[in-house]
Amino acid sequence: MNYTPLFLSLKIAGIATCIVVIIGILFARLLARNEFPGKRIIEAVIMLPLVLPPTVVGFALLYLFGRNGPIGGILLDWFNIQIVFTWIGAVIAAIVVSFPLMYQSASAAFQNYDRNIENAALTMGASRWKVFWTISFPLAWPGLLAGFVLTFARALGEFGATLMIAGFIPNQTETIPLAIYFAVESGNMDEALFWVISIILIGFSAILWLNWWSGKNILRFRSDS
């Protein structure tokens, strides 16, 4: 059994999750507490990958990052970096499709506590950076953690957009979802079943841990109260 799809999927999902978490928190923090013209349009664009078919997202990425695309052409000509049919393309696909989940969770997390706590700290002389790390981030942490887990699970299971931009290249872009699809196409049902069970166990374990952690902290909060 070739375990490359497992390691490659974990690598792609891990990198994508780290990027999405950082950018998602920044965007959510900025948009959740500020009102300005065009905010709803920006949020609609952010959430769009959730409602679009994966093939549409994949086509958009293929257009942007292809050899003749507005971004792909520059990367190839100036930096000799090719995105299409590489694992980097799979990372980009995972980032785009999982970003709305992180943004949604982080935005809700930053809105679910009293902003007066932050204002009180600011009036006492604390910097915004210190307020964020000592007040905002800890209070929003449960929602941010939920977004982290959902982002990883979504990135791990990405298929349609990945196939469009990264293709199926054994040992290079062969993620678990792609391995399942092409194993079924070739009639190798045992291999497909193995990968189906593997990705179910990984996703189930992540969600089970999140539920356990959330329940544990709720009980701790009630006992402290």
Each residue's pLDDT tens digit, 105-143: 999 999 888 778 888 888 888 888 888 888 888 889 889
Q: Provide the pLDDT for residue 89.
A: 95
Q: Provide the pLDDT for residue 225.
A: 43
What would the two tokens of residue 171 be?
């040992």
3-state secondary structure of 56: helix
Residue-wise pLDDT for 201-211, tens only, equals 999 998 898 88
Q: Provide the pLDDT for residue 119.
A: 82
d(CA 163, CA 90): 8
The full set of domain ranges for the chain reads 4-175
Of 170, 175, 165, the closest CA to residue 67 belongs to 165
Q: Provide the pLDDT for residue 2.
A: 86
d(CA 134, CA 4): 41
d(CA 133, CA 217): 20
Q: Provide the pLDDT for residue 223.
A: 52
Q: Provide the pLDDT for residue 121.
A: 84
Q: Provide the pLDDT for residue 125.
A: 80
- Spell out a b/e string for 161-177, using b for 16 or more CB atoms within 10 Å of the CB, else e: bbbbbbbbeeeebbbbb
| Mean pLDDT per 10-residue interval, the chain, length 225 residues | 92 96 93 84 94 94 94 92 94 97 93 82 84 88 92 95 94 95 95 96 91 68 47
- pTM of structure: 0.91
CATH superfamily of 4-175: MetI-like (1.10.3720.10)
